[in-house]
Amino acid sequence: MAEGTQIQLVTFQLGEELYGVDIMDVKEIVKVCNVRQIPNAPYYVEGIFNLRSEIIPVMNLHKRFQIKKLETSAAEEEQDGGFIILNIDNNKIGIIIDKIARVVTVDMADVKDPPQMISGIGTEYIQGVIRQENHYLIMLNIRKLFNPKELQKIFDAE
């Protein structure tokens, strides 16, 4: 992207860190709902759920990245937790989040290359890091989060 270009990110919390994904890749945000497990799925696949007659696989990024879940009360989890439904190459995938934050506009000139490791997440999954007041916003590359062969296996299992 060119210098001076801006991008909007949907930000959310996983554990203690703040993450963001391009708003253009987000279909919607939904509250926690009934997830049904699917056999022989990769370890980070929580299962599937029905969203308005559409079957959506749900990924658990806590498991994928070995991140501890944010310590919250049941009431906070009910209010803040849920799924972000991503649209990856016309496939809808839900990712479990601890807490939705907000939509932020980021100048691409402020996006820096990630350090080698951030909270156990390999740099191949990170598009960049944005320094904010007293923390960092980690911009995820959703197209690299899920191996295409694994995704195909999940969609075939539905």
Q: Express each pLDDT in 105-131 by its tens digit.
A: 999 999 998 876 555 566 778 899 998
Distances (CA, A) of 23 to 11, 75, 86, 132: 9, 27, 9, 19
- The angle subtended at Cα 68 by Cα 153 and Cα 146, nearest 5°, is 20
Residue 126 near residue 144, CB atoms below 8 Å: no
Specify the pLDDT at position 72.
61
Q: Express each pLDDT in 29-81 by its tens digit.
A: 998 778 999 888 888 889 999 989 998 999 998 888 888 887 765 555 555 67
Distances (CA, A) of 69 to 14, 77, 139: 7, 11, 19
